[in-house]
Amino acid sequence: MNFTRALVLIFSLACVSIGAEAQDVKMRVGTEPSFPPFEFTPEGTNDLVGFDIDIMNAIAKESGFEVDWQPLPFDGLIPAVLSNTIDAAISGFTMNEERKKRVAFSEPYYTAGQNIMINKKDADLIKGYADLEGKTICVQIGSVGAQIAAEIARADIVTHNTTVESYMELNKGGCQAFITGTPVHQYYLTQTKDENLMMLPETKNAAGLGIVMNKHNEKVQKLINDGYAKIKANGVYKQIYDKWFSSGAK
């Protein structure tokens, strides 16, 4: 290799390094796209939309990277981050202690609890968590709702890959309750106008939601955390929040 070619190579590598810190990097971000209003694909489209999607895209714009969205099953997202198959994941992840032992989280970008959805015909039978003992409960695999259900005495747990499946199962009587995040239930009722189901007021495990990252990838952590700090400071976060939770999602 002659001197000129060596200089070109060094310059090219320098540009890649700068790009990795700024505008040329493409970050692989995983999500499970059936969790409205956080991430979902509207019927009849291939568009990926939702609160989480808008948050991550806004962070990317501020930190100067492009998002390469990777749809994955919910219970496969953290393993994919740990194996570096993806760089980060955003999918309504509750920041609990078990997960914090395995992965790094961003600052919490939303606070959500876990509520019960039931059939209205069971309103006299099920009024809260204490009434779920011995009942059949639908949950999404790997969710906080699944963890809560697992602690309920004599409960028969029915697991699904998506919340959509759980709502369908609840509607047809395959389970007596479905536990998931409060805003997910609220969005479902608002969008579907389902008159057969109702959400109970009792909330458990109110906690922050965070973006999942590998503990050893400090570059990704910096890009995401810096970008999130900027959208909180410049008002973009509030605009996104109002779009999905204050003004009603479209």
Q: Tell me if domain 26-109+210-246 and domain 111-206 are identical in fold.
A: yes
* 53: amino acid identity, one letter: I
Which residue ranges make up each domain of the chain? 26-109+210-246, 111-206
Whether the CA torsion 205, 183, 241, 93 is positive or negative: it is positive
Q: What is the pLDDT of residue 4?
A: 38
pTM of the model: 0.75
Dihedral of CA 197/146/107/74: which sign? Answer: negative
Cis peptide before 201 (omega within 30 of 0): no
Residue 87 is predicted with a pLDDT of 98
Structure confidence at residue 94 (pLDDT): 92
Query: With contact defined as beta carbons under 8 Å apart, do 180 and 140 qualify?
Result: yes
Report which of 31, 32, 185 is spatially closest to residue 113, judged by C-alpha positions.
185
Q: Which tokens hold the place of 199? A: 């959400």
Per the listing, tokens 């914090």 go with: 100
| Phi, psi (degrees; rounded to nearest 5) at 136 | -90, 125
CA distance 90 to 77: 9
Query: Contact, 71 vs 48, CB < 8 A?
Result: yes
d(CA 18, CA 22): 6
Instruction: Give me the tens of pLDDT residue by residue for the chain, a chain 250 residues long.
Output: 443 343 333 333 333 332 344 456 899 999 999 999 999 999 899 999 999 999 999 999 999 999 999 999 999 999 999 999 999 999 999 999 999 999 999 999 999 899 999 999 999 999 999 999 999 999 999 999 999 999 999 999 999 999 999 999 999 999 999 999 999 999 999 889 999 999 999 999 899 999 999 999 999 999 999 999 999 999 999 999 999 986 444 3
Q: Which CATH number fits domain 26-109+210-246: 3.40.50.2300, 3.40.190.150, 3.40.190.10, 3.40.50.300?
A: 3.40.190.10
From the CB of residue 16, how many other CB atoms can be counted at a distance below 10 Å? 10
Residue 216, pLDDT score: 97
| CA separation for the pair 114, 203 (Å, rounded) | 5
pLDDT, position 24: 66
Q: Is the dihedral angle over the CA atoms 210, 91, 77, 156 positive or is it negative?
A: positive
CATH number of 111-206, picked from 3.40.50.1820, 3.40.190.10, 3.30.200.100, 3.30.565.10 = 3.40.190.10
